[in-house]
Structure 1
Amino acid sequence: MYSAFMQYKEVFVTGGTGPLGRYVCPSLIGHGFLPRLFVCLGSEGGIAPDVRERCRVTPGELTIRESVEMGAQGTSAIVHLAEMWKEQPPRGIPFEEAHVHATANVLHSASVWGIRRLIFVSVAGARPGDPDPYFDTRGRAEALVRGSDRSWTVFRPAPWYDLRDGKPRVSTTYLEALAGAIAESVQRQDTVGRVYEDASTDRFPWKELSQISGQSPPIH
């Protein structure tokens, strides 16, 4: 089985069991990649059976640097999707840990193993210093990526959930189109150093990256 894994380019994927990850993983497989899903212990059940048969699963914690470092070893690219839309202080996972520190750990691991390609999914409206701690920490995590020396691409889609009531804000069609653009961008050099944003929940501009105009201004 190990030899079969070696026939593919492995992509380290965080947040693979989340709302977007469920679409990104099949899309990566369709583009000829082997997803290595980095999941919290006990979350393996969230992986669809057809994806589970065609990926590698590595349990770990994004908030633990050594765990991320071990999980990313041997992969050729990173797709960092993991996020938390609601703080979970009882579990000891505030936004600061889930977004900023986790992203710092991902960047550290990329540097340690010489992984150049990094796709980071932020969120429309993310901005360091925002009064809302969710948008503040998401913005600071994005700033870490954009300030790194990796070959990064950033996507800033509409939030998955309404932050007030937790109801879904985006459709399956939106997520499918975004997932396809993410998987495609892994192997596209023309998306390196670019930021693609769409705050709308009723348009699907991700189908063709070339249709997304402009680069959002630098985050300060």
Structure 2
Amino acid sequence: MDVLVVGGTGFVGQYLCRELDDRGYEVTALSRNPHDADLPTGVTRKEGDVTDYDSIEGAFEGKDAAVFLPALTPLFEPDGGNEMHDVVHYQGTKNALRAAEEHGVTRFLQMSALGADPNGPTHYLRAKGKAEEAVRDSDREWVVFRPSIVFGDGDEFGYFTKRLKQIFAPGVPLYPLPGGGEKAHFQLIWVKDLVPMLADALEDDEHVGQTYEVGGPEVLSLRAATELVYEAEGKSVTIVPLPMPLAKVGLPVLGALGFPMGGDQYEGLDFDNTPSHNDIDAFGVDPDSMKTYGEYLGVA
């Protein structure tokens, strides 16, 4: 199988390229800056921007399958504002689908997000929801994945935690979290547990036309995850509850002053990021075999 990984030099993309290469596939990684990425020598690199159709169209030629991974983090407001979610997630997906159809790429796997909904509460979730609709309306053999937050070396969740520490309380064991970090819950999934499932979905016809919500083996609150990060550093922390109504007002104000969070990010902390049913069983995965966030940090 010849697979194009769109966003193949990103966090998940690099792991997936290695997994597919290990399975003996022909793999091409497409991204805006592919040349400095840590990829196996057998992986071909192509340069292109999903927001520019002409720059990516040729990379789809001769491919059997395409995986669409480009994503802007929902944890911080992106450069260019929250409207960029629509540009990258929705318009970018449409461009990739158009190129896949132009070149007869049979299978199309899209990385979406839990809570994706065209009428969702944030720009991120609305753009992801519209992208899902575009994928399902295509004539490709599609598969959609909706993971909870993915962790591993180079992940955004660890960066998010460190960034807040730098902004709010550098050198001080106080950490303000909206709602005390108890409002939002996550079912964090290790990237090395996720990518074999993505690869299996490309191989097995039984996954065509399916949407999978996947998460790790445990549910953690934002508070619990933050405490694990501090424990892994050998430090203690006092979580300072920031009342949700105050956070709703304060984060957009801070965003206007340059702090990379705003109303969208508040909304993202106001609901759980957990699957309604963990579809890992569709891939024969036992939760007990998966890595917890604490195990990854070395504080299980």
Per the normalisation by structure 1, the TM-score is: 0.79
Aligned length: 196
Paired residues for 1:61-140 under 5 Å: 61-85=49-73, 86-89=77-80, 94-140=84-130
Partner SS state of residue 105, structure 2: coil
Question: Aligned to 1:191, which of 207, 226, 232?
Answer: 207
Structure 2 CA distance for partners of 1:206 and 1:20, relative to 1, 3 Å: farther
Cα distance between partner residues in 1 of 2:96 and 2:217: 28
Give yes or no for contact 2:31–2:47 (8 Å, CA) kept in 1.
yes
Does 1:209 find its partner at 2:201? no
Structure 1: gaps of 5 or more residues: 1-8, 213-220
| Rg comparison, structure with higher value | 2
RMSD: 2.7
Cα distance between partner residues in 1 of 2:128 and 2:113: 7
Partner of 1:215: none
Cα distance between partner residues in 1 of 2:161 and 2:92: 25
Shift of 1:63: 0.5
Does 1:18 find its partner at 2:10? yes
Q: Could you tell me which amino acid in structure 2 is paired with residue 166 of structure 1?
A: F
Q: Deviations over 1:104-139 (max 9, x none)?
A: 001000110011111111011111111210111111
Does 1:44 find its partner at 2:118? no
After alignment, is 68-77 or 98-107 more displaced? 68-77
Cα distance between partner residues in 1 of 2:45 and 2:18: 14
Paired residues for 1:125-204 under 5 Å: 125-160=115-150, 161=156, 166-167=160-161, 174-199=190-215, 202=218
Structure 2: gaps of 5 or more residues: 151-155, 163-185, 220-277, 287-300
Cα distance between partner residues in 1 of 2:215 and 2:118: 17
Give yes or no for contact 2:97–2:135 (8 Å, CA) kept in 1.
yes
Shift of 1:40: 0.5
Structure 2 CA distance for partners of 1:132 and 1:57, relative to 1, 3 Å: same
After alignment, is 142-151 or 203-212 more displaced? 203-212
Identity %: 26
Partner of 1:33: 25
Cα distance between partner residues in 1 of 2:200 and 2:106: 16
